[in-house]
Amino acid sequence: MDFLLDTQALTDFLSTSLRLSIPIIFAAVGGVLSERAGVFNISLEGCILAGAFGAAVGAFLSGTPIGGLFLGIAVAACAGMILAGLAVGLGINQLVAGIAINILMLGMTSYLARLILGADATSTLPGFHVIAIPGLSAIPVLGPVLFKQDFLTYLMYATVALAWWFLYKTPWGLNVRAIGDFPVAADSAGISVPGVRLACVMASCMLAGLGGCYLVLSQVFVFTEHMSAGKGFIALAALILGRWNPFGAFLACIFFGLSDALQLRLQFNSPEVPYQLFSMVPFVASFLALVLFAGKVRPPSAIGKKYVRGGK
Amino acid sequence: MAREYALEFDQITKLFGDFKALDKVSLHVLEGSIHAILGENGAGKTTLMNVLFGLYQPDGGRIRINGIETVVRSPRQAMDLGMGMIHQHFMLVETLSVIENIVLGLPGQGIRLSLKEHIDRLSVLSDAFGFEIDPYTEIWKLPIGMRQRVEILKVLYRDADIVILDEPTSVLAPNEIANFLDGLKRLRDNGKTVIFITHKLEEVTAVADRITIMQHGTVTAEKAVSETNTKEMARLMIGRDMVFEDLEKPKMEPGPVAVSVRDLRAQDDRDIEALKGVSFDLQSGEILGVAGVDGNGQRELAEVLTGLRRPSSGNVSVFGQDVSTLSVYDRRHKTHMSFVPEDRQQTGLVLDLPVVKNAMLRDFRIWPFSKHGILHMQNARDMATAWVKRYDIRLRSVDQHARFLSGGNQQKLIFAREIECAPRILVVMQPCKGLDVGAIDAVQRTVLHERARGTAVLYISTELEHILSVCDRIAVMCAGEITGVISPAEATSERVGALMGGISDADAA
């Protein structure tokens, strides 16, 4: 761990950690929105993949990262519409609906990517460039880590702050929190429970899609099959650790990002050990974290339950 | 007297299929008065309110609000018309604070949640009506009486002029009720119109100005409270004279000791000692009442007896046999113990199962409900149908979900299930909570019938009048101990009050 003592190496390590956590942060914040409204969003994984796929196709066709961003969000929104339609509209079990979307996205994106990108699948796509923020980026270590990043990273900061502000400081956020805990009360106060849930699920999937956009447009600049690789599930763990609060989820994601960066470093330093062993680190970390916090967190009471109006 | 009617129902009829839930119901509520609607469960009170709030559209008749004929299409519209409803089950989000609950769903709030301004407005309101409350407290930290206060404030905050309360006192502790009734008077004195639905006669005489009495979907009387009395109201409500204290109670020679409890100690859910050395004997053919203010160990006592909670020390024996190690199942089947739990909706029934399956919950593993692990639904159906007749359970069919039965009918179903297996010991807890007079009467008769059969009955209740009229002996609990065991004849209010307050006979002497 001597790299922690060297300023340059430490900066690199933290920077890698942040980049690895960004897709998870987008997805986890999305998950917070959906679960606070009482809908499990297991499909975060599929939505990241949908976003990544859309971003790749959009960037490929338009030749600009912005085109990729829009299509990425749009494809994730379609996944969101399916989930909202199934889970909120038809009242199908939320977990089953989410799993269905994950499977659907895995197959569909792999197939369509081959069809659309074809031989160009391995060529580098246009992406976002690093924009250093003058002044702030000159702070030692943390400056370059936090403020020498690309557009989507800055968007992520704004997303976390906005999501928190939305949940705790606006009437709509109050509606969301009420619906997640006791939808009957919200309904009797004249709030449309299905409407709010639908909006939250859509926003949730679009945010996860942004995570996928980041993977393609800021990190690797290509689309590969199943490139979400479990990030959506880590995001689910992160939002539990973060106690269904956007800032908490952000911190939990950073923790997973650090553990992921650490395992990459270990892989690099110990080529004689099978790398698969190190790839497990973030998952084992999320496992341990969940076990440690087990029983200490209280999810929104109405989560996972479909809402039907009472009355005889 | 130039007082206007705030609300008028004119010949309202509501049909559910062939069933007339409301049959030409007319009702007139004077502005600035407290109007009670009295009736048994199933009399149509709640249906009437659902019509008023636009949840049901009436099949006939008219509603006039402040003299103007109105068709109410949604609860939202009802709110806009100045009506506010306080449900029996609170519509409060427990994790949110008082002010957040009050603001929830308020139209025209803009983009920012400005709680501070709302708190200022709320404090003006709560001062005016004398409902002090800390706006930042989360609901789960508040006692029931305070939660109800939040519900009332929520309605007032929306500028309601007509406040409607559905069975408001059934959830309150006795000491909270007087306070609540004072609150109602303050509402009226500040010009609000209050409608409250109830089946408790004393409350009607205590606060109401006028009363409408309903029975089987029709209005049997509407009059000023000063022109009537409790006896007449009871008769108009249930269509027969009520049996108050004069329950037929033949003399019984109690049999052998059925349950013997010695120095029982147990902890509650928060690991606080809730039973601190309780000892008593319960004989066959007697009803031992357990009185006391709610939360003094009665719940834990019932749970330990039925095997739901492990005691930390002491023992329970049934007909001389130590049952401490027996499971719930064995207690029920080997020692023939039956249990009517306090919370009939959560513990007593599975609300989303049909009545027939609820009927077989206790004994589904044995004949005639099943054989070799296979359920015999036809037998179950026959049994359930017979019970429905025998216990006068009102329902459409035994395939109906238990959720859709009224409270009294749910309780009758539980009693049928727990008694038809011919138990030797019956533990009942709060059997009459939230029931109307007719159902209470049925429950008490059932319990007395069990006593006549020789069953040992432990009757745990916080309603002293019921205990006095039913029980042979009364054990009073306070702070996890039995402070005294007395006969109903000895039970003066002074004596029982002292025991409930923790002053045992030994202390007094």
Instruction: Tell me how far apart the alpha carbons of residues B49 and B165 are, in angstroms, rounded to a whole number.
Output: 10
Name the pairing type of β-strands B370-371 and B337-340: unpaired
Q: Closest Cα partner for A196 from A12, A32, A37?
A: A37
Nearest CA in chain B to A300: B95
CA distance B336 to chain A (A): 36
Radius of gyration of chain A (CA): 20
CA distance B155 to chain A (A): 10
**Beta carbons of B50 and A184 less than 8 Å apart:** no
**Would you say residue A309 lies in a domain?**
no
Instruction: Tell me how far apart the alpha carbons of residues B415 and B459 are, in angstroms, rounded to a whole number.
Output: 13
- Res B243: pLDDT: 41
Q: Are residues B209 and B146 in the same domain?
A: yes
Sign of CA dihedral B348, B352, B357, B359: positive
Nearest CA in chain A to B108: A171
Asked if residue A203 lies in contact with residue A35, where contact means CB atoms within 8 angstroms, the answer is no
Indicate whether A200 pLDDT > 90: yes
On the question of a cis peptide bond just before residue B368, with omega within 30 degrees of 0, the verdict is yes
Name the pairing type of β-strands B313-318 and B321-322: antiparallel
Residue of B95, B112, B404 lying closest to A170 (CB–CB)? B112
Residue of A174, A185, A311 lying closest to B92 (CB–CB)? A185
Residue ending a domain, among B379, B395, B421, is: B421
Tally the domains of chain B.
3
* Residues above pLDDT 90, as percent of chain A: 62
How far separated are the first and last CA of chain A, in Å rounded? 66
Coil vs helix vs strand at B374: strand
Residue B400 one-letter amino acid: Q
CA distances from B355 to A218, B130, B360, B389 (A): 60, 45, 9, 13
Asked if residue B435 lies in contact with residue B405, where contact means CB atoms within 8 angstroms, the answer is no
- Res B346: pLDDT: 85
Name the pairing type of β-strands B34-39 and B68-70: unpaired
Q: Are residues B412 and B454 in the same domain?
A: no
**Would you say residue A102 lies in a domain?**
yes
Q: Are residues B456 and B414 in the same domain?
A: no
Q: Are residues B49 and B175 in the same domain?
A: yes
Instruction: Tell me how far apart the alpha carbons of residues B482 and B297 are, in angstroms, rounded to a whole number.
Output: 10
Asked if residue B302 lies in contact with residue B427, where contact means CB atoms within 8 angstroms, the answer is yes
**Beta carbons of B55 and A311 less than 8 Å apart:** yes
Instruction: Tell me how far apart the alpha carbons of residues B439 and B394 are, in angstroms, rounded to a whole number.
Output: 11
Tens-place pLDDT, residues A213-223 = 999 999 999 99
**Would you say residue A10 lies in a domain?**
no
**Would you say residue A49 lies in a domain?**
yes
B172-192 b/e (C-beta count within 10 Å ≥ 16 → b): beeebbeebbebbeebbeeeb
Asked if residue B253 lies in contact with residue B277, where contact means CB atoms within 8 angstroms, the answer is no
Instruction: Tell me how far apart the alpha carbons of residues A50 and A206 are, in angstroms, rounded to a whole number.
Output: 9
- Res A312: pLDDT: 32
Specify the CATH number for the domain of residue B501.
Answer: 3.40.50.300
**Beta carbons of A178 and B96 less than 8 Å apart:** yes
Q: Are residues B109 and B42 in the same domain?
A: yes
Residue ending a domain, among B185, B212, B238, is: B238
- Under 8 Å CB-to-CB from B228, ≥6 apart: which residues? B211, B221
Distance of CA B147 to the CA centre of its chain: 17
- Res A17: pLDDT: 93
Could you state, in chain order, the average pLDDT of each consecutive group of 10 residues for chain B (509 residues)? Answer: 78 85 90 88 81 88 90 86 85 91 86 89 87 89 84 89 84 74 90 86 85 87 86 69 56 87 86 86 94 82 92 92 89 91 89 92 88 90 92 88 88 93 94 84 90 94 83 88 87 70 60
**A171 in contact with chain B, both atoms CB, cutoff 8 A:** yes
Q: What is the mean pLDDT of chain A?
A: 90
Coil vs helix vs strand at B388: helix
- Total count of residues recorded for chain B: 509
Instruction: Tell me how far apart the alpha carbons of residues A266 and B102 are, in angstroms, rounded to a whole number.
Output: 54
For A217, the domain range is 15-122+132-293
CA distances from B43 to B14, B197, B214, B310, B438 (A): 13, 11, 6, 42, 12
**B76 in contact with chain A, both atoms CB, cutoff 8 A:** yes
Q: Are residues B268 and B312 in the same domain?
A: yes
Q: Closest Cα partner for B335 from B263, B412, B448, B422?
A: B422
Provide φ and ψ at A222, rounded to 5°: -140, 165
**A106 in contact with chain B, both atoms CB, cutoff 8 A:** no
Could you tell me which residues are beta bridge partners of residue B267?
B273
For B177, the domain range is 5-238
Q: Are residues B212 and B249 in the same domain?
A: no
Asked if residue B413 lies in contact with residue B359, where contact means CB atoms within 8 angstroms, the answer is yes
Residue of B75, B94, B404 lying closest to A190 (CB–CB)? B75
Asked if residue B99 lies in contact with residue B160, where contact means CB atoms within 8 angstroms, the answer is no
Q: Are residues B383 and B441 in the same domain?
A: no
**B91 in contact with chain A, both atoms CB, cutoff 8 A:** yes
- Res A233: pLDDT: 92
Specify the CATH number for the domain of residue A103.
Answer: 1.10.3470
Asked if residue A238 lies in contact with residue A22, where contact means CB atoms within 8 angstroms, the answer is no
Instruction: Tell me how far apart the alpha carbons of residues A226 and A49 are, in angstroms, rounded to a whole number.
Output: 7
**Beta carbons of B113 and A174 less than 8 Å apart:** yes
Q: Are residues B233 and B252 in the same domain?
A: no
Asked if residue B425 lies in contact with residue B225, where contact means CB atoms within 8 angstroms, the answer is no
**Beta carbons of B109 and A182 less than 8 Å apart:** no
Instruction: Tell me how far apart the alpha carbons of residues A133 and B367 are, in angstroms, rounded to a whole number.
Output: 79
Indicate whether A4 pLDDT > 80: no
Instruction: Tell me how far apart the alpha carbons of residues A302 and A193 are, in angstroms, rounded to a whole number.
Output: 12
B61-83 b/e (C-beta count within 10 Å ≥ 16 → b): bebebbeeebebeebbebbebbb
CA atoms within 13 A on the CB side of A245: 10
Coil vs helix vs strand at B363: coil
What's the whole-number mean pLDDT along residues A179-196? Answer: 90
Q: Are residues B432 and B495 in the same domain?
A: yes
**Would you say residue A65 lies in a domain?**
yes
**A:276-305 residues touching chain B, CB 8 A cutoff:** 301
**Beta carbons of B113 and A190 less than 8 Å apart:** no
Instruction: Tell me how far apart the alpha carbons of residues B323 and B310 are, in angstroms, rounded to a whole number.
Output: 11
- Res B242: pLDDT: 38
**Beta carbons of B104 and A188 less than 8 Å apart:** no
- Total count of residues recorded for chain A: 312
**Beta carbons of B91 and A184 less than 8 Å apart:** yes
Q: Are residues B178 and B263 in the same domain?
A: no
**Would you say residue A172 lies in a domain?**
yes
Sign of CA dihedral B265, B266, B270, B271: positive
Q: What is the ipTM of this complex?
A: 0.84
> Per the structure block, which two tokens stand in for B175?
């000491």
B341 C-beta neighbours (distance < 10 Å), count: 22
A138 C-beta neighbours (distance < 10 Å), count: 12
Q: Are residues B91 and B60 in the same domain?
A: yes
Asked if residue B94 lies in contact with residue A181, where contact means CB atoms within 8 angstroms, the answer is yes
Instruction: Tell me how far apart the alpha carbons of residues A70 and B478 are, in angstroms, rounded to a whole number.
Output: 68
Asked if residue B203 lies in contact with residue B177, where contact means CB atoms within 8 angstroms, the answer is yes
Asked if residue B464 lies in contact with residue B294, where contact means CB atoms within 8 angstroms, the answer is no
Asked if residue B25 lies in contact with residue B61, where contact means CB atoms within 8 angstroms, the answer is yes
**Would you say residue A312 lies in a domain?**
no
**B111 in contact with chain A, both atoms CB, cutoff 8 A:** yes
Sign of CA dihedral B132, B138, B139, B145: negative
> Residue B3 region, left (φ>0) first, then alpha (ψ -120 to 50), else beta?
beta
CB pairs under 8 A between A and B: 67
**Would you say residue A303 lies in a domain?**
no
Tally the domains of chain A.
1
Name the pairing type of β-strands B162-166 and B193-198: parallel
- Under 8 Å CB-to-CB from B116, ≥6 apart: which residues? none
Instruction: Tell me how far apart the alpha carbons of residues B476 and B456 are, in angstroms, rounded to a whole number.
Output: 18
Instruction: Tell me how far apart the alpha carbons of residues B302 and B274 are, in angstroms, rounded to a whole number.
Output: 12
- Torsion of Cα atoms, A60 then A65 then A68 then A70, to 10°: -150
Which residues of chain A are within 8 Å of residue B96 when distances are taken between CB atoms? 174, 177-178, 181
Name the pairing type of β-strands B374-375 and B370-371: antiparallel
Where do we find the tokens 């009226």? B188
Tens-place pLDDT, residues A74-129 = 999 999 999 999 999 998 999 999 999 999 999 999 999 989 888 777 788 899 98
- What is the CA angle B179-B182-B185, rounded to 5? 160
Give DSSP secondary structure letters for B289-318.
EEE-STTSSHHHHHHHHHTSS--SEEEEEE
Provide φ and ψ at B263, rounded to 5°: 45, 50
- Res B244: pLDDT: 44
A34 C-beta neighbours (distance < 10 Å), count: 34
Helices (H), chain A: 7-36, 44-62, 65-83, 94-117, 142-147, 151-169, 171-181, 183-188, 193-214, 231-241, 246-269, 275-279, 281-293
Q: Closest Cα partner for B83 from B15, B14, B11, B29?
A: B29
Residue A76 one-letter amino acid: A
Instruction: Tell me how far apart the alpha carbons of residues A227 and A212 are, in angstroms, rounded to a whole number.
Output: 9
Sign of CA dihedral A300, A306, A310, A312: negative
- Res B67: pLDDT: 87
- Res A87: pLDDT: 92
